[in-house]
Structure 1
Amino acid sequence: MTDVAFTDPDGSTVLVVHNENDAPRDFAVAVGGQSFEYTLPGGALATFRWPKSGAPKADRREVPLTGATATAQPAAADARAAIDADGSTRWSTGQAQAPGQYLQIDLGRRTAFDRIALDSGDNLGDYARGWRIESSEDGAAWHPLATGTGTGQLTTVDLPHSTRARYLRITNTAAAPGWWSLADVRLYR
């Protein structure tokens, strides 16, 4: 999948998405605190447009994860794929969802953020049915940030206040027959 977003001369915002694969691909679009899921057939191109009056506003900026590392349990695939800013790669449990499975990110330094986006990518249904997010300064003592129930491929978690932490852990808290996958974990402030 490739995509590009831009502002037209009339002030509207345009998103163009191309599925370069032969098979259909599912993806999610998040705009201004709202999101929707869409299935794009193989080889297809889709254009989405928001008028100037309803154009998305950048209320936050993405925190780069350059230099961050990731580990996971189970270690079925490369955990780094969840933080490489490439939606075509993913970390996956490689087995049915079970409580206690996790992805842990070492941000490399204390980092400020107040929003977390958990994107399961184009693997329809591979989102955590239940989750817990925790932070830590040392990777040993964990502090709860948020818990919730997954409802789709993209889960956006707005924290009640800005958090500064070096480590972040996302833990699956529910059982489901499908795998749990993370194509991208993104932080915002």
Structure 2
Amino acid sequence: TTHTVNRVVADASNDAGDYARGYQLYVSTDGSNWGSPVASGSPAGPVIDISFGATTARYLRLVLTGNSPWWWSIDEVNAYGA
């Protein structure tokens, strides 16, 4: 089902230095149509706290746009509703 979301937190803190240096966040209600990113950024640490305008979504896509010198991993992702 779809939900209203306005915040996503991606945590990569179990692997120090192993976090995204840039990202784009997309949402979709059907898993096929993604449109433009609802948020993008260049985090300075392993916990990426992404706030954006409330939107309806069933699927989330977090795209790496700036990689770390090593691998990129995410230990946990949480979505929050408006």
TM-score, structure 2 as length reference:
0.88
1:153 aligned residue: 46
> Quick check: 2:11–2:76 contact (8 Å CA) kept in 1?
yes
Residues 15-72 of structure 1: per-residue CA shift (max 9 Å, x gap): xxxxxxxxxxxxxxxxxxxxxxxxxxxxxxxxxxxxxxxxxxxxxxxxxxxxxxxxxx
2:69 match: 177
CA RMSD of aligned residues (A): 1.2
CA contact (8 A) 1:134 1:168 kept: yes
Higher RCO (Cα < 8 Å, 6 or more apart):
2
Cα distance, 1:139 vs structure 2: 1.2
**Identity of matched residues, %:** 36
After superposition, the Cα gap between the structure-2 partners of 1:119 and 1:188, relative to the gap in structure 1 and judged at 3 Å, is same
Which of 25, 32, 49 is the matching residue for 1:140? 32
**Unaligned regions of 5+ residues in structure 1, if any?**
1-108
The one-letter code matched in structure 1 to 2:68 is A
| d(CA) in 2 for partners of 1:173, 1:118 | 15
Contact 1:117 1:154 in 2 (8 A): yes
Asked whether the 8 Å contact 2:18–2:68 carries over to 1, the reply is: no
Whole-Å separation in 1 of the counterparts to 2:19 and 2:3: 25
Q: Which structure 2 segments of 5+ residues have no match? A: none
Higher helix share: 1
Report SS of the residue matched to 2:68: coil
CA distance in 2, matches of 1:149, 1:170: 13
Matching of residues 30-69 of structure 1 within 5 Å: none
CA distance in 2, matches of 1:111, 1:149: 26
Give secondary structure in 2 for the equivalent of 1:140.
coil
Q: 1:110 Cα deviation (Å)?
A: 0.4
8 Å contact kept, 2:19–2:68: no
Q: Which runs of 4+ in 1 moved over 4 A?
A: none
Aligned length: 80
